[in-house]
Structure 1
């Protein structure tokens, strides 16, 4: 078993692993430290306090993290309850930069795969709060300086030591402010799609009050002017172009009972330079039922997940997808974490059971994880990533494959969207989907829908353990194993996902167990993990080439069901078993 780090996950989690010599990967995922670096006699390794049960009353808390445990959502408690969601995060080095002693004491390897509030209970979070507490208490101007920082600024700790006196640097987000757009600028870009009267009302960022930072782009807030009700504030401090694209999609899609509400308010902030009043986010309703990825396994464990409810949720999701495709849009992000539940009595779509209804959220249209992507999408992603991440001298073969099998791709692989302002691309940035016809996009969505149906009817939060993210409820089984699904449901899932590699027994051999990486079925040192990961990716790329060759040969292949056919089959199953 090997401790997880951001570098290790990046090294073994992508197809470039197959094309990089093991020694090169090893150098990227481990750092040689001298005896003095790791010595407990070294002052930097003497830990002031890293225990959550420390008696110190700290003025900071951590609500979660992103970027594989290197960017933490820090909240100055002393500024609550009057603090707006300024989205000021704390950035620290990769876990391989921590000495072994500190990594164990701080549990920093575990932070690499946690994103939610659980990370706040780790020793690394407690230690970082000590550092911030000392930093803020020693600065008499902290209150005024923190509030005046540009939206999305960063605090930086350049070296993780055991001392709470580590220096904290401030990186103002001037570049982000430059790339944020005013409402007038957005209205000019969208003049052919959205009328000025169709924009939601405006709230200033200072009118919001932060409750907690749920995810990288999602803040839980309340608004005093709206009877102190709780809402979601959606923002994006690293790639604002995705925020604006999602806003446009939500303002142009027709409403549906199981589609997230159009934004209730736009949120603006005056920028430090030039006085521009920029749109920095928008307000959505807060759905109380929680994400499907947590509800499914929770109800399964409690024994309250029943077949009528499963069929209802599956049908609702299929119907809202039909609605999206009937609107000539598409949805490439289908997985349980992008579906939330809420009490039906608040939705206007209540049935007699009084249970929860589904709501589809997240319309950034980024694309899905590899485990959820259909082959025609997945292999484009593989080739795109290889061509963007490696020098051209090592990618000649894959460049030829890309140009041969994807000649009509309407954009180069992985352009640097974040390097420039949002410029209103017609359908967003998900190039692996944009090259597909509308019918092909629906087919790719049906593939993901089949895997989602498996999660619903087997009561699992995902189809497999995610290397990059430890779920609150880890899957107790993996797709396509069946335990509880009735036969007709199993047949339906197969007809949606028949070309998934898992049906042929192809699964990743390197898995995450807590905060460590191991080879499936046995323990291994770092050398063994890297070797097995590299071999697996080499086989995966061979499978990709075989699949591409079959497409080129004109070999007749079975077609997936349409969304309408999936819905009809679900209604037939409901008649038979309910």
Structure 2
């Protein structure tokens, strides 16, 4: 079954247990592979007016920049939106590679025909606009350019620019943030810089812009952190970064607050903040690349592993209280310019302190079980009696709710309800689980632990084999580290016999075991939808079994088998992990060994 944005509830969210897949099949029948590709490269201008840096929204949101406005292009975060894949003509979906945009997030999306069609539509539309630069720069931050339809005739694609005030309405002035966060001395606040003083160079992620300061050094880049959806998360991260003490393995405090004039005549508002730019990129891509190139060493692996574990201890002992988003994507490597004169080796640098949820593949079961029951308690697709039952489970397990205030000023809680309702011991146990999964990535040289429907990685995503390595299996990890990882991930259910799963192969989803490779039968669209429904029914049953055991455990009424089911009571502490890693590293015969 080809991927499309409207399938996310079926495959990636617990609502899939209740949705009517029969109706969805009418618009999601398998598309034959015999459609001719559409060659649009020759139609693109030699000097394009636009560039697409990536994709989000499961293939409906393109991170597009009107580069012909550079160097005066201000980072207004005006993205381009298109209809989901089911609204593309059937004869074009395969030819354009529309499904590929669902899971490709970075510049590789430019290889797809749908991206080239979007670029052509933008080129044609821009050429027809009068005084485009003035109109563009007058837009509110987070506005949209919308392609209303997809057709093979570019002239027939309807494009409109929409001034969207949703994001700007969420912004607050510096004085309001200082009032809310009165414990931060005024002297501890960064200087401000105007949004209009920044040149938008590239969009690396939905919340991460690469910028230069106008009039500054032409080769000095900065990261501009902002959001076009939930500004409160960026503000929460800002507060943590301003209150956390400096640490070599934590991204330094913001260099500037980015502000802009309030179009309604009030004080200047805070759009986000500037941070230093780490050029080497994230650990996920570096691990996979060095593993493939044969340049990943035991010495580096053990050093990074200990740095990650020990930094988690420092974070827990500081104002943040916990780190909920541990994954290789959120760990950068310092480059030569980032290191001190006494440093000769790269160090891991933690980023992303919004304190939200992690990827499902690296998240502890207790975290996503609470996340699922909260979602199910609010979903109209769930029968009312079951919704009430789930709502009662929410009250039992998550009595603390985020404040309704636009800016929640408790730095040790944030907005993510499952983590807010954990005790300190439970938070650490959940961190240890994600640490175990991250250690697996470090020592196996992988981007992620399991097949991911949502994201296609730069490396290892072309593993066209049922033997592609997934957790909890090992190939390269030393045996003592394997045992440590197993202990950290107690409660893991990945790879259990009898579990129903769906997997992505290329741009399609199949039932696990029926992906058509290495002699496997080829599953149909109907079989994929049926498998997704059974998968979520099975996971919801596991969730309810877990929550019942958690209730007994908290009441001191645990039964035989509850510790194994819960997992978290038997995981080691972070301190124990650091000590074990140190001992194992010292016992390693040759830490210089290259891992192939």
- Same fold (TM > 0.5): yes
1:416 offset after TM fit, Å? 11
Distance apart, 1:170 and its partner CA = 1.6
Q: How does 1:227-246 map to 2 (within 5 A)?
A: 227-228=217-218, 229-246=220-237
- 1:570 partnered with 2:581: yes
The corresponding residue for 1:486 is 478
Residue 430 of structure 1 is matched in structure 2 by 416
**Structure 2 Cα separation of the partners of residues 483 and 506 of structure 1:** 23
CA separation of 1:143 and 1:416: change in aligned 2, threshold 3 A: farther
Q: Give the corresponding residue for 2:509.
A: 517
How far off is 1:404 after superposition? 4.3
State how far apart, in whole Å, the 1-side matches of 2:176 and 2:17 are: 44
Residue of structure 1 equivalent to 2:406? 421
Q: Are residues 1:371 and 2:347 paired?
A: no
Which residues in structure 2 correspond to 1:40-55 (within 5 Å)?
51-54=40-43
Aligned to 1:36: none
Query: Post-superposition shift, 1:223?
Result: 1.6
Alignment of 1:183-332 (within 5 A): 183-191=174-182, 193-228=183-218, 229-328=220-319, 329-332=321-324
In 2, Cα distance between equivalents of 1:55 and 1:440 = 54
TM-aligned CA deviation for residue 31 of structure 1: 9.3
Deviations 1:282-303 (A, max 9, x none): 1011112211110001111111
Verify: 1:167 aligned to 2:158, yes or no.
Answer: yes
Q: Give the match for residue 530 of structure 2.
A: 531
Separation in structure 2 between the aligned mates of residue 386 and residue 24 of structure 1, nearest angstrom: 21
Structure-2 separation of matches of 1:258 and 1:389: 40
Q: Which residue is 1:118 aligned to?
A: 108
Secondary structure at the residue paired with 1:445? helix
Q: Secondary structure at the match of 1:388?
A: coil
Q: Deviations over 1:371-428 (max 9, x none)?
A: 2221221211111111222356x1533542552475252346xx898xx833535521
2: CA distance between counterparts of 1:349 and 1:511? 47
Kept in 1, the 8 Å contact 2:373–2:393? The answer is: no
CA–CA distance in structure 2, aligned partners of residues 8 and 334 of structure 1: 27
Q: Distance in 2 between matches of 1:306 and 1:507?
A: 35
Q: Deviations over 1:259-294 (max 9, x none)?
A: 011101110111323354111011011112211110
Q: 1:554 to 1:264 in 2, by over 3 A?
A: same
* Residues 466 and 53 of structure 1: CA distance in aligned 2, closer, same or farther (over 3 Å): farther
TM-score by length of 1: 0.91
| Cα shift at 1:334 | 0.6
1:463 to 449, 452, 471: 449
Please state whether the residue corresponding to 1:309 is helix, strand or coil. helix
8 Å Cα contact 1:203-1:266 kept in structure 2: yes
Report matched runs for 1:70-149 at 5 Å: 70-149=60-139
- Counterpart check, 1:339 vs 2:339: no
Query: Which 5+ residue runs of structure 1 have no aligned equivalent?
Result: 34-44
Q: 1:559 aligned to 570, 573, 578, which one?
A: 570
For residues 318 and 475 of structure 2, what CA distance do their matches in structure 1 show?
37
Q: Structure 1 residues 350 and 301, CA, compared in 2 at 3 Å: closer, same or farther?
A: farther
For residues 141-175 of structure 1, give each alpha carbon's deviation from its aligned partner in whole angstroms, at most 9, with x where no partner exists. Answer: 11211111111110111111222222211211212
Matched with 1:56 is 45
Matched, 1:68 2:58: yes
Contact 1:46 1:162 in 2 (8 A): no
Number of equivalenced pairs: 556
Q: CA deviation at 1:258?
A: 0.4
How big is each residue's C-alpha offset from its partner over 1:292-348, in whole Å with a ceiling of 9 and x where there is no partner? 110001111111111111000011111111100011511111111000112256233
Give distance in 2, aligned partners of 1:200 and 1:93.
Answer: 41
- CA distance in 1 between counterparts of 2:24 and 2:127 reads 42
| CA deviation after TM superposition for structure 1 residue 55, in Å | 5.1
Equivalent-residue separation in structure 1 for 2:240 and 2:129 (angstroms): 44
In structure 2, the partner of 1:397 is: 386
Structure 1: distance between partners of 2:545 and 2:80: 45
Task: State the distance in 1 between where 2:476 and 2:341 align.
Answer: 28
The 3-state SS of whatever aligns with 1:498 is: coil
Q: Which residue of 1 aligns with 2:436?
A: 450
Structure 2, unaligned stretches of length 5 or more? 462-467, 515-521, 564-568, 592-596
8 A contact 2:280–2:334 mirrored in 1 = yes
Question: RMSD over aligned Cα, in angstroms?
Answer: 2.5
